[in-house]
Structure 1
Amino acid sequence: MFPGPTGVTTLKSWPESAARLIAVAAGRETADLVVRNGQWVNVHSREVIAGTDIAIADGRIAYCGDDASAMIGENTRVIDAEGRYLVPGLCDAHMHVESGMLTVSEFVRAVLPHGTTSMFVDPHEIANVLGLDGVRLMHDEAVDQPINVFVQMPSCAPSAPGLETTGEELGPDDVEAAMGWPNIIGLGEMMNFPGVASGDPKMLGEIAATQNAGKVVGGHYASPDLGSPFHAYVAGGPADDHEGTREEDAVARVRQGMRAMLRLGSAWYDVKSQITAVTEKGLDPSNFILCTDDCHSGTLVNDGHMDRVVRHAIECGCEPLVAIQMATINTARHFGLERELGSITPGRRADIVITSDLATLPIEMVIARGVVAAEDGQVRVERRAFDYPATARDTVRLGRELVSVDFDIHAPEGADTVRVNVIGVVENQAPTKALTKDLPVRNGLVRSDPTQDICQIALVERHRASGSVTNGFVSGFGYKGACAIASTVAHDSHHMIVVGTSKENMAEAANRLAEVGGGVCVFKDGKEIALVELPIAGLMSDEPAELVAAKAARMVEAMGECGCELNNAYMQHSLLALVVIPELRISDLGIVDVRRFELVDLIVGN
């Protein structure tokens, strides 16, 4: 049996419920819930069937047809759909709960009103901080939810061995152990694509452990090179990929037997550029899947989740029924769960969205596992409680108080100007640009240059209390005046990223996060103007989603007050240490050129 949304078991496994489902469908027994007079969106046949009744028992669908009258008894709840559409509950095929700054329980409460009833989560953020113990915590919390939350075992901690230092490391033995946990659905995104392409034994060992368990290997090929490295990576076993940004990326993946996952997150807008593979080139849409990857709490609470992605795909020219397939049955099939979810058909979990329009997709009612879980934007199931232990909370260890000189960048003796490598932020995309710029030297120190939109960036080690600081330069944020933004969300090693125009403010911001146990803060003119506390692993809050969203909104607003006009600039900030996405990144070991997967000097020619 599966836990129900109010603490009572409502969803039974198919073998446990089969006899009753048959009896209800035959009219010999009555249903728990009947939805009448709906327009059935059938994702198997890609058609809409008017005048349909859906009968539900034991949290599963028993009957889909034109008359469920015989299945209604005195204890049956009846919902009149009044001719509205009955859409399968939406599935997010690839996502990181930690990016929402929320616990699994609060993330679920945030997305339920938006029609999401299934999530496939990769907790590799907490894995980099707490290792296998952290993954187990999120796995156990995921099991105890009113919707389907499946967990992918993180594959890459660290994501690029030799280029970063994580709080914990994972390997093939950890993957093999996790494959036996009840809610593990597969292997999380295999980010070390050079390792796979070169036949690295550790990466291949993790993939083998997953395939031996009969589960899906998630992909992450972040290079634009579709030549031999790409072909070698595909041969290594990853079954999907969400890192495409161009039409040719999507085409290449499906031609090689992968599923192309098209993402729309808070700052990743990669659907529009790839959906043309279906809408214009006419490729079979069955191998295309929609996902979010990373959404912060403000997006979830104010804009939506998978409903937002489906609407966006439709706006980009995708037919509504095809877009819905990409967020339901395609996902279920990919993970081998077609008999469990992804469609409104007998035997499946009763996950249904009721909406009055397929193009604009207003989410008017959400049924999850046979229970009305959300209605008119309000969650109708009780708040879940999960206790994260003290070991998951004391994770920001700087070893000392930082001061402004920690952010000094020394120039070669006698230099008046130097040429430096600069990380170039790209709005609404995860990749960066590798820039080189000439910067002035004053009193032996290299200075940032606001006239070129260049400020400082620092990676502060926070796992082992080493007190080390790696300094560099970044362009694209538009910061002006004296300011600093610090975050312990720093994909994927999750040290602390500090970006600023004032070294004094940078030190103050870093020390503040150490004081509160992690999070995001903004300092301007020496004063704190925004703070989001994230005490769980320095990644997540245990506060309600609405409160976290409000703090995150203030954080984004504060970044704007410092001069930043980028859309969701915080997401770009948090990825500046992700050393598996080109072109240039920063880690605790130095500046990383991801095009060549090697450390490079900050000062060119130094």
Structure 2
Amino acid sequence: MNIDLLIKDVQVYNVYMKQFIEGNVAVLDGRFLYVGARGEETFTAAETLDGRGRHMVPGLVDIHLHIESSMITPRTFSHGILKNGVTTVVSEPHEMANVFGLEGVQAMIDASQGCEADILYAIPSSVPATSLETTGGEIDVADIDKLMKQDRVICLGEIMDSYAVLNDPNGKTNRILQHFRDHYPHVVIEGHTPKRLVDLDLARFMFAGVDSDHTEQEVESMLDRMRSGCFVEIQEKAMRPDIMQVLIEQDVAELFCFVTDDVMADSFVADGHLNHLVRKAIKMGMSPERAIYAATYTSARRMQLHDRGAISPNKIADFVLLSDLNAFTIDAVYKRGTLVYDAARHTLQQQEPGQFPLHFYESVKLHKLTEADFIVNVEAADGIQMCRVMEVVNGTTNTNELHREVNVINRELQWEKSGCGLVATFERYGKNGQRGYGLITGNTIKRGAIATTYSHDNHNLLVVGHNAADMALAANTVIGTQGGFCVVVDGEVLKHVPLPVGGILSEVPFEQFGQDIKELRAAMESIGYEHYNPIMSISTHSLPVSPSLKLTDYGLIDVHAGQVVPLVV
């Protein structure tokens, strides 16, 4: 029998038995034809591989991520994930949707055409994430119906505003959920389910149709979810010893998978992608068989991708050959039976400019700022006033609310003498010119300034600093390149990373951009940022669904109360 590819004498991972079985694998027309003992006496192969000493696993499947979190284009992302054994992803482009609405989602889908990896999409369900921020675009029910006609769209992306689901029955989020229940009852709905949602609140959230969670976990809240049938997607920050112990020791393999969610480009280049989580799980005591299961089969099944996630007849022939199972060392990656990555050949990606419509490179509608733009006027009497302060905490992107005394002179807050930094955000879409101000402390910078248009999820201009001059220089550097990151100290630009596509993406090749982000991280740390992920930390200062005190162009947001609160208490 003629076939395209025969892999001989390889240790094949069988997801159904959760074990490796030595055998031969035949591939025909991009799909697995046969797995078993038969070999060259039965098959005449156009190509034959010797699999002795190697393990063969399905291509990894990552069902919850945001390409824009790596600040690279879909083509660059495809290049990066394939070398890490990831052959299928489900991306939710709510970052680009916040900048350009439906057009932004469509542009991301279009930019994925021709990628070697399968890049599938979730419809952004929470654009904007709340009513307390200004975005460049939004997604509503009519947009959802248009996107559901796309072949690459397979689910509704994470429902983020749990407060609205539970407390605003006639609001936009509940209208979207009701529309899905009525018109697309069998389509998967992804959830952003804060750990505070347990018991009745969790039940009500699930009753609305949201039956998964990818957020930070605690053991009891995670078990509460699993007992309720809520599928749990474990990202790296949830891979703590206590969580992993539960996943290893209890019979919950069908109830979770691994996902990356957000991966910075420098760690993407240095450490890998979903394969990094598999490797980490094995190091933490999970058997390779269980770790691989949670990065292939359960993830594919969750998204109803029944044609992949396993090495068995009629499944898509996406697979990875490993030279070391426990270290998860990748030798080669095959997509639909074709070699797409060979560890023995080092290939660099070439730059591909102009992947998006022209106006995507002209999205920052802001004039240059001056030091006067960082004067904070308050409705308060002169003298010492108690003010709200955002506390940055290492180990989490959540922030705390503190209260500190700050002097007011002629209704001007003397923030530069307060011992705190200033955080400011400026609406950048040319819609209303709104701006918000707050104070900041904790594991953030101690001098200089940082500015960025990569600020979840609204992506307005965010500036943090300790003096107005540095803040203005950082902001204007970013404005001048139509988006990006800039770190400044004492009037000197330490690092500038342009993000010209929508103010949030770069078209620089994978390895080079990873080096840029590594240098950006080092620059942030050099001026005092003490955080496991300073880039993600600062970019979520404006995320009003992430506890506890955040800042948008509307002002300071009490996330738990879901409302704007004044700077002066």
TM-score (norm 1): 0.89
Q: Which residue is equivalent to 2:421?
A: 455
Asked if 1:277 corresponds to 2:242, the answer is no
Alignment partners' CA distance in 2, 1:302 and 1:568:
14
Q: Which of residues 524, 527, 542 is equivalent to 2:492?
A: 527
Q: Which residue is equivalent to 2:94?
A: 124
Task: For 1:184, give the aligned amino acid.
Answer: V
Aligned-pair distance for 1:279?
2.4
Q: Which of residues 130, 152, 168 is equivalent to 1:183?
A: 152
Q: Which residue is equivalent to 1:17?
A: none
* Change in 2 beyond 3 A, CA 1:546/1:513: same
Q: How many residue pairs were aligned?
A: 565
Q: Name the SS of the counterpart of 2:96 in structure 1.
A: helix
Alignment partners' CA distance in 2, 1:64 and 1:42:
10
Alignment partners' CA distance in 1, 2:331 and 2:227:
38
Asked if 1:491 corresponds to 2:450, the answer is no
Q: Name the SS of the counterpart of 2:365 in structure 1.
A: coil
Q: Which residue is equivalent to 2:359?
A: 391
Q: Name the SS of the counterpart of 2:314 in structure 1.
A: coil
Aligned-pair distance for 1:314?
2.2
* Change in 2 beyond 3 A, CA 1:450/1:356: farther
Deviates more, 1:554-563 or 1:458-467: 458-467
Alignment partners' CA distance in 2, 1:272 and 1:531:
37
- Which residues in structure 2 correspond to 1:21-60 (within 5 Å)? 28=1, 30-50=2-22, 52-60=23-31
Aligned-pair distance for 1:539?
0.8
8 Å CA contact 1:579, 1:585 repeated in 2: yes
Alignment partners' CA distance in 2, 1:208 and 1:276:
37
- Which residues in structure 2 correspond to 1:282-297 (within 5 Å)? 282-297=250-265
Q: Which residue is equivalent to 1:93?
A: 63
Alignment partners' CA distance in 2, 1:149 and 1:272:
32
Post-superposition Cα deviations, 1:326-358, rounded to whole Å, max 9, x if no partner, equal 1100001101112x1111111111111111233
Alignment partners' CA distance in 2, 1:402 and 1:64:
64
Identity %: 30
Q: Which residue is equivalent to 1:18?
A: none
Q: Which residue is equivalent to 2:266?
A: 298
- Which residues in structure 2 correspond to 1:267-416 (within 5 Å)? 268-270=237-239, 272-280=241-249, 282-338=250-306, 340-376=307-343, 387-398=355-366, 400-410=367-377, 415-416=382-383
Deviates more, 1:429-438 or 1:583-592: 429-438
Alignment partners' CA distance in 1, 2:100 and 2:334:
35
Asked if 1:219 corresponds to 2:185, the answer is no
Aligned-pair distance for 1:582?
1.2
8 Å CA contact 2:157, 2:191 repeated in 1: yes
- Which residues in structure 2 correspond to 1:253-268 (within 5 Å)? 253-264=225-236, 268=237
Q: Name the SS of the counterpart of 2:505 in structure 1.
A: coil
Q: Which residue is equivalent to 1:164?
A: 133
Asked if 1:137 corresponds to 2:129, the answer is no
Q: Name the SS of the counterpart of 2:278 in structure 1.
A: helix
Q: Name the SS of the counterpart of 1:64 in structure 2.
A: strand
User: Which of structure 1's runs of 4+ aligned residues deviate more than 6 A?
Assistant: 379-384
8 Å CA contact 2:195, 2:218 repeated in 1: no
Q: Which of residues 500, 516, 519 is equivalent to 2:465?
A: 500
Q: Which runs of 5+ in 1 are unaligned?
A: 1-27
Deviates more, 1:577-586 or 1:372-381: 372-381
Alignment partners' CA distance in 1, 2:149 and 2:344:
37
* Change in 2 beyond 3 A, CA 1:295/1:382: closer
- Which residues in structure 2 correspond to 1:241-256 (within 5 Å)? 241-256=213-228
Q: Name the SS of the counterpart of 2:506 in structure 1.
A: coil
Deviates more, 1:104-113 or 1:121-130: 104-113
Q: Name the SS of the counterpart of 1:76 in structure 2.
A: strand
Task: For 1:80, give the aligned amino acid.
Answer: D
Deviates more, 1:242-251 or 1:125-134: 242-251
8 Å CA contact 2:381, 2:408 repeated in 1: no
Aligned-pair distance for 1:225?
3.6
Q: Which of residues 76, 81, 86 is equivalent to 2:51?
A: 81
Post-superposition Cα deviations, 1:459-487, rounded to whole Å, max 9, x if no partner, equal 11111264432110122234233x11111
* Change in 2 beyond 3 A, CA 1:78/1:246: same
Asked if 1:230 corresponds to 2:202, the answer is yes
Post-superposition Cα deviations, 1:179-209, rounded to whole Å, max 9, x if no partner, equal 1111101111011212222333532332344
Alignment partners' CA distance in 2, 1:359 and 1:472:
48
Q: Which of residues 575, 578, 590 is equivalent to 2:543?
A: 578
**Aligned residues: CA RMSD:** 2.2
Q: Name the SS of the counterpart of 1:31 in structure 2.
A: strand
8 Å CA contact 1:344, 1:350 repeated in 2: yes
